Amino acid sequence: MSLFGGYLNVTGVTFLMFSLFLIAALGYALGRITIKGVDLGTAGVFIVALIYGVFFYSRLSGQLKAGDATFVSSALKIVENMGLILFVSAVGFIAGPNFVGNFKKNYKSYVLLGLVIILMGAASCILCIFVGRPLTDLTNEEFTALLVGLMSGSLTSTPAFSAAKATVATEALESVVAVGYGIAYLFGVVGVVLFVQIMPKLLKADMKKERELLKVDATESRTLPSGLMHMDGFGIMPFALAAVLGMLVGSVKFGAFSLTTTGGCLLMSLLFGHFGHAGKVSLTPSIGTLKVFREFGLMLFLMGAGVSGGASFVKYFNPIYFLYGIVMTILPMIIGFIVARKLMKLSLLNTLGSITGGMTSTPALGTLINVAETDDVANAYAATYPIALVSVVVAAQLVILFLS
């Protein structure tokens, strides 16, 4: 039976659902493999999804509608965006009660660290442009577009990717940006996930002590009043309302810039989480609901991004471009870590939380929460993320405008 003018059929939809559940099962199994105390965690889902995209993307396309790769890409984008909405909204609700107090105490550090990380990402991109330009057969415009795509992927920034595509002069250059983004995105995800696990081990950190320091940083928090009316037992209604308002806010454009769905949902859920209620009506989902949505959302996001990325990864992969992407991922993290620890004197977990926000890395935050065994690290992510979001979009546009 065909649906929607032949775009979907029951067999194709069933195959899509089968594929997603298979990726989830294998991905979590891969993520559980531990080597010297380090594992991929939920990012294992991304690796399996990428491999699936390399070998089975065309099969998936054929099942949904033969030859229509655009429709398959759109279907996967829906999965990815649904995951982002669930994840960032859950993070915002969880961080909300302690966010204001933590931000008041450390806001200068968060702003500066977000700027430092993105500036280092842009600087490493510019360095790679000047070093690599004599070694490539691409035109200046093509090579700059490719490297800005690599920067967007290395910082896992979809808004920067979109801004870069909107800034280049032709549709052909948009495709070049997309190639760079796809090449760098893999290490952009995995690199930050590994970084937040490796650094505490290298420093031999006492995680119990670090958790206590993190609580001290949150000097002001909001506690819920009792006796509120709950719209449903799980708190799905306020969660959905925050997501709807977040998508509306994220769609508002200021020139070429917008918060996007991710930024809008994060902002609104932070506000809901901070205030906690409107009159006698509770605006806070249960913590169990939030944890399930956070993990489920992260899983969906990684599957959607991984399968679509795998479809073009092998075709456009080039070792030297992959190396450029590694530089653009590692250098901002290392410099950001040194600045946060040595100059700003932030605690380890606050530093790592800020780095996940500065790198706009959704998967790494999920990993860090598991490593730290506390949701409080989401405060630093939520505080640094908006600064990085704006900065990386501006940086992507400026590099293209001035170096093409």
Give residue-wise pLDDT tens across range 19-62: 899 999 999 999 888 887 778 788 788 889 888 888 887 777 66
State how far the Cα of 330 lies from the Cα of 372, in Å rounded to an integer. 21
Q: Which residues of 250-391 form beta strands (DSSP E)?
A: 253-254, 257-258, 277-278, 281-282
Tell me the CA distances in angstroms from 399 to 63, 111, 116, 161, 208, one per residue in order. Answer: 41, 21, 16, 13, 43
Residue 292 lies in a domain: yes
Of the candidates 26, 78, 33, 28, the one whose C-alpha atom is nearest the C-alpha of residue 52 is: 26
Residue 39 lies in a domain: no
> Number of structural domains, the chain?
1
pLDDT at 186 over 90: no
Domain that residue 157 falls in: 86-296+317-403
End-to-end CA distance of the chain: 50
State how far the Cα of 98 lies from the Cα of 364, in Å rounded to an integer. 20
Of the candidates 293, 367, 362, 301, the one whose C-alpha atom is nearest the C-alpha of residue 42 is: 367
Residue 193 lies in a domain: yes
Residue 7 lies in a domain: no
Residue 122 lies in a domain: yes
- Of 3-7, 8-12, 228-232, 309-313, which gets the smallest average pLDDT? 3-7
Residue 99 lies in a domain: yes
Residue type, 289: T
Q: Supply the pLDDT for residue 201.
A: 92
Q: Write phi, then psi, for 258 (nearest 5 degrees).
A: -145, 160
pLDDT at 66 over 50: no
Residue 302 lies in a domain: no
What average pLDDT does range 120-149 have in this prediction?
Answer: 92
More confident residue, 5 or 116: 116
State how far the Cα of 387 lies from the Cα of 293, in Å rounded to an integer. 25
Strand partners, 3: 8
What is the 8-class DSSP label of residue 373?
T
Coil, helix or strand for 254? Answer: strand
Q: pLDDT digits over 188-210, tens only?
A: 988 999 999 999 999 999 999 99
Residue type, 213: L
Cβ atoms of 179 and 324 closer than 8 Å: no
> What sign has the CA pseudo-torsion 138, 141, 144, 147?
negative
What average pLDDT does range 232-236 have in this prediction?
Answer: 89
Confidence of residue 9 (pLDDT cuts 50, 70, 90): low
Residue 67 lies in a domain: no
Alpha-carbon dihedral 260, 263, 264, 270, rounded to 10 degrees: 170
Confidence of residue 347 (pLDDT cuts 50, 70, 90): very high
